[in-house]
Amino acid sequence: MGRRAAGLATAGALVLGTSSGCSGLPSIGGCTDRDEKLATVLAELPILSAHPGTATPQDGYSGCDTDDGFAYAGRRFRTDLDREEIMTFYRDATAEDGWRLDSENPNPVPSDGLAVSTAVGCFSKEVDGTTAHLNLWFPSDLNIPGEIEEPEDEYGLDVTGSHDGAAWC
């Protein structure tokens, strides 16, 4: 009986602490205040404005993933450059901006269509006291004829990070 009462008291304290904003833990299905603020920091990173001269920036976006509790920011670009030219540009631009190349995968979607990651290039660096991950990707890798048809001349940059959860490319 004593264990049950102690368990209920602990659960109640956690609920009260979380709902009153006194906890650094993410709420169920959400982000912490620190990660909400991190999304703004990520959106202002210079790498999200860097692009080859022939690329045209599209609208940027940022926020906090409510399922996994991480901050994100990104932008898409349109260009007539091929993948290797785009990757070459970002290898140089990220190195100049202090990012480390973690992995490259020129063909991230296998022939059976099951994509685990669409990252063509994954980079990382410390931002605001945590590791940020930069993902270079091509939306058309997710095309399904007749269902999802993203433009072939578009690519994206996404940055993710979290103080209180997990983030990855």
Does pLDDT of 17 surpass 80?
Answer: no
The pLDDT value given to residue 10: 34
The pLDDT value given to residue 12: 38
Query: Which pLDDT band holds residue 109 (cuts at 50, 70, 90)?
Result: low
The pLDDT value given to residue 91: 97
In the chain, pLDDT over 70 holds for what percent of residues? 75
Segment 52-98, tens digit of pLDDT? 999 999 999 999 998 888 999 999 999 999 999 999 999 999 999 99
> How far is Cα 24 from Cα 155, in angstroms, rounded to an integer?
35
As a dihedral over the C-alpha atoms of residue 108, residue 110, residue 113, residue 117, rounded to 10 degrees, the angle is: -30
Does pLDDT of 124 surpass 50?
Answer: yes
Q: Where are the domains of the chain?
A: 1-26, 31-161
Segment 19-48, tens digit of pLDDT? 333 334 444 457 899 999 999 999 999 999
Considering all CA atoms of the chain, what is the largest pairwise distance in Å, rounded to the nearest integer? 71
The pLDDT value given to residue 29: 55
Query: Which pLDDT band holds residue 169 (cuts at 50, 70, 90)?
Result: confident
Query: Which pLDDT band holds residue 162 (cuts at 50, 70, 90)?
Result: very high
Closest CA to 155 of 69, 82, 49: 82
Segment 98-107, tens digit of pLDDT? 999 999 887 6
